[in-house]
Copies of this chain bind each other. A is one copy, B any other.
Amino acid sequence: MQSSAAKNIFEVRGAKTKAAILDTALKIASLAGIEGLTIGELAKAVGMSKSGLFAHFRGKDNLQLSVLQAATEQFVEAVMKPAFQEPRGEPRIRALFKNYLDHLNNEEALPGGSVLISASIELDDRPGVLRDFVKKAQNDLIKNIEKAAKIAVDEGHFRSDLDVELFAWTMYSFVLGYHHFKRMLESPKAEQHVKRSFKGLLEVSRAPGTQISKSKKLKRA
């Protein structure tokens, strides 16, 4: 047990700097992309030597993979987990959407936009471990949206004949559109557009005669 404890202490020392490295790496990758992230630049940014930093990972592939894992974890913590603690049905869908937007608006954590979105475009023609990871992460996200939509159907909030796959696809397309319009086109109306579109999506998805107000008043009514 003591040796195990000792080992943990060692691990803590390493893991701490490793976490700091990944934190900086996430921001750089957000700006420069996962392929634009270089070891030299990262080392300079965290104040280490290239070789010292390199030793934490067994190669660049591994560094990139770690960054993608960190980005996914960050996303799950900020968007998925809190949403799935909301009440089942439309409230949860709403939370999912709101958290996603807030996450994309978090300029401190993501100064250059979502690492996962840009990575999925950078990697879409480069087979390998990185691509596989991003693909799985995105698929998981979609599946979770579908799951939440299915629950909303079961709860009677959404139409029983709703195509949950189409719902998830549409919702994700709106998120992509927002990300794109905000970041590249710098359109000030991006947020207004995405919110109105999402509201419309909710309306056409609801079961007839059902409406769950934003302030959730109807829940107790």
**Residues of A in contact with B (beta carbons under 8 Å apart):** 30-33, 35-36, 111-113, 117-118, 120-125, 131, 134-135, 138-139, 142, 163, 165-166, 169-170, 172-174, 176-178, 180-181, 183-186, 189-190, 193-194, 196-197, 200, 204
A186 to B184, CA, bound (A): 25
**B185 and A139 contacting across the interface, CB-CB below 8 Å:** yes
Given the complex, which residues of B lie within 8 Å of A174, measured CB to CB? 173
Given the complex, which residues of B lie within 8 Å of A112, measured CB to CB? 124-125
Considering the complex, give the chain B residue whose CB is closest to the CB of A168.
Answer: B193
Given the complex, which residues of B lie within 8 Å of A36, measured CB to CB? 35
Given the complex, which residues of B lie within 8 Å of A166, measured CB to CB? 193, 196-197
**B185 and A138 contacting across the interface, CB-CB below 8 Å:** yes
- A177 touching B169 in the complex, CB below 8 Å, given contacts A112-B125, A124-B113, A125-B113: yes
A166 to B197, CA, bound (A): 8
**B169 and A181 contacting across the interface, CB-CB below 8 Å:** yes
Name which of A35, A124, A196 has the most chain B CB atoms within 10 A of its CB.
Answer: A124
